[in-house]
Amino acid sequence: MKPDIVLLQENFTGIFEFELLQELAQIGTLLNVDEGHILMNVGSYIKSVPIILKGSIKILRPDTEGREALLYYLGGMDSCAMSLTCCLGHRQSEIQAVAEEKTTLISVPIEKVEEWMTKYNSWKQFVFMTYQRRFEDLLNTIDQIAFHKLDDRLLMLLKRKAKACNCKVFVITHEELASELATSREVVSRLLKQLEKIGKVKLSRNKIELLLK
């Protein structure tokens, strides 16, 4: 389905010029994806770049043993720098992108990504800002791994999920959290119980409530 120009104006006025919005309405594809939907997989060639309107997408880096490390989240009015890089370099993806919740996005064909860089200054600025935000996200991830204990990293992950979904209750398993932190389910379960004891979280079956203000 093509995005309506009114929808684009509501979301992108002040970000993209009207001529770019007109092109986006003509060649973009409006998609609604459910939680858990895989938008991008390791090894696949990127044919389009997503711009998220509503919802959130988590970007994961899997290893050869099937474990996954969370790199960062994409939220509203955001895009993935790695997909932009793969588009411009015509390379295979090195990450996996999974919808964290029900998400609405606009898919932009890769041939337009480079063309718009020289045609529209607002698009070039959008791409540069996307790179900057993702670089900051990756620095934050590196800082967590290098300088924080695993219990701190778990609490930070829960806070990031709360920010991404604008909620404090997560329907998620200990196994899924362990995968995102590249550790074991047993370790995550033990740390969650410790956090519950000190009043940071409330645990129930496949649900975690973040109690921090």
Mean pLDDT of residues grouped by 10 in the chain (213 residues)? 88 90 94 93 86 90 77 83 70 86 92 90 92 84 74 88 82 86 86 90 88 73
Listed in order, the ranges of the chain carrying CATH 2.60.120.10 are: 5-145
* pTM confidence score: 0.70
What is the CATH topology of the domain spanning 150-210?
A: Arc Repressor Mutant, subunit A (1.10.10)
What is the CATH topology of the domain spanning 5-145?
A: Jelly Rolls (2.60.120)
**Residue 113: what pLDDT?**
87
HEC string of the chain equals CCCCHHHHHHHHECCECHHHHHHHHHHCEEEEECCCCEEECCCCECCEEEEEEECCEEEEEECCCCCEEEEEEECCCEECHHHHHHHHHCCECCCEEEECCCEEEEEEEHHHHHHHHHHCHHHHHHHHHHHHHHHHHHHHHHHHHHHCCHHHHHHHHHHHHHHHHCCCEEECCHHHHHHHECCCHHHHHHHHHHHHHCCCEEEECCEEEECCC
